[in-house]
A and B are shown apart, each in its own frame.
Chain A
């Protein structure tokens, strides 16, 4: 009898799990350059570019999700996971796990709260944002804007123009193209680039680590408060350098040592040129240390 009861309980549990999520399988026609917007509160969204002129959404919705709304036409679709207006303790199961496929050249805009967001195989403009989830983008595309507050932001690919922002999350950008702007408060910034035309990197207490080159007339601006800054660049970098710190230390592997600016304050700075001095590199910190190293 006890065994039968256990089997019954196990079967009930399995059935409960099986029916807890509602499956989603939706398809809509979409133009090659359609604009696709997706809004999710909780769970995860993965978007992949493909060659078909279609929007495809597969996955599952939690029991307390009201509906998956899909509005628009082939030029633009808005996908929204609707949850009860007061999604408090009584509505715990509001997650949505979605695998979305869109035309590779589509413009994509994903907004999430506590959901992770990922995208790959896209070539157009992509904007991904989350409050506490991680944001990940993979591939070679024209323009990307990636934002998370407490989650990490990662890019692997060759986006022409990249804007990445986080508060406590880390930003890791590998293979940045022509232009990049990245800012954090306490998270770190790690950037690997080929030869950027313009880079603006900012943090408050997070460290900034740049490994890459600078285009012939490019510019690199780095601004940190207490975070340490480390630039690892080719010995043949052609630039006018201006590096300063109020109370940090400057370790210059490219030119002369930094000099103290005043007898009464701890600030130090150094300005020098390398190569044909075609580009411009400016670094400033308040108390963070600066290391310039040849790669």
Chain B
């Protein structure tokens, strides 16, 4: 099993849902791949912290109309900051932006609300939940920061491999990913404990991580 394939099955592996031959193949790969072992540690940590989050009961009224109003067109904030900078060094800024955005989104979502940025926060988390969630957020942010620092450096070293069109496509692509993560995070705020949203968010974050890895491989 290759790194790509292990990456794709990471959520299942971390959750203990990957079974049989696929699990054995993944474990054989992990024995010899430090990078994938690190990714698995991060995924397990994310799963543990998500599981430890407090579950709120369903709201008394239907909040979805408010969510759809807020989702609307994606906000301009960080996306403009990322897409605006073309030319030499933009891959660096792109990767740096990715690092900050990813860490912020995960931390923000783990704290029970969307990260600060283009999507407004409708309701603050309940006061009793805030300290525990903030602590989990800080721990997770530190872990993500460590994982992405390596990618940022690698992306800076390889920015000369990107031409203008490739850089623009990557910037736009990562902005799409950012929007996707923000949308799911926003929806998760209004539908707490929704396993499907948790899986969608994990998938979106995994994609961000994959594309950052691809930057490194250029």
Contacts and interface: CB of A to CB of B under 8 A. Distances in A.
What is the interface of chain A mostly: helix, strand, loop, or mixed? loop
Interface of B: 4-5, 8, 58-59, 62-64, 68, 161-163, 165-166, 168-170, 172-174, 176-177, 180, 183-184, 187, 190-191, 194, 196-197, 199-200, 203-204, 207, 210-211, 214, 218
Nearest to A223: B203
Given A202-B207, A204-B177, A205-B176, A264 B170 contact: no
Contacts of B187: 246-247, 265, 286
Contact of B62 (A165, A183, A247, A264): A264
B4 A200 contact: no
A267 B204 contact: no
B58 A150 contact: no
A274 interface: no
Contacts of A204: 173, 176-177, 180, 204, 207
Q: Residue among B4, B165, B197, B214 with the most chain A CB within 10 A?
A: B165
Interface string A138-169: 00000000010110000000000001010111
Given A202-B207, A263-B62, A163 B190 contact: no
The 5 closest A-B pairs by CB, nearest first: A131-B166, A150-B169, A185-B173, A132-B165, A167-B173
B8 A200 contact: yes
B172 A168 contact: yes
A250 to B, nearest CB: 13
A134 B14 CA distance: 36
Interface size bracket, A side: 35 or more
B196 A267 contact: yes
A163 B59 CA distance: 43
A150 B166 contact: yes
Contact of B168 (A114, A150, A244): A150
B65 to A, nearest CB: 10
A28 B96 CA distance: 44
B200 A113 contact: no
A225 B204 contact: yes
Contacts of B168: 150
B173 A262 contact: no
A169 B177 CA distance: 15
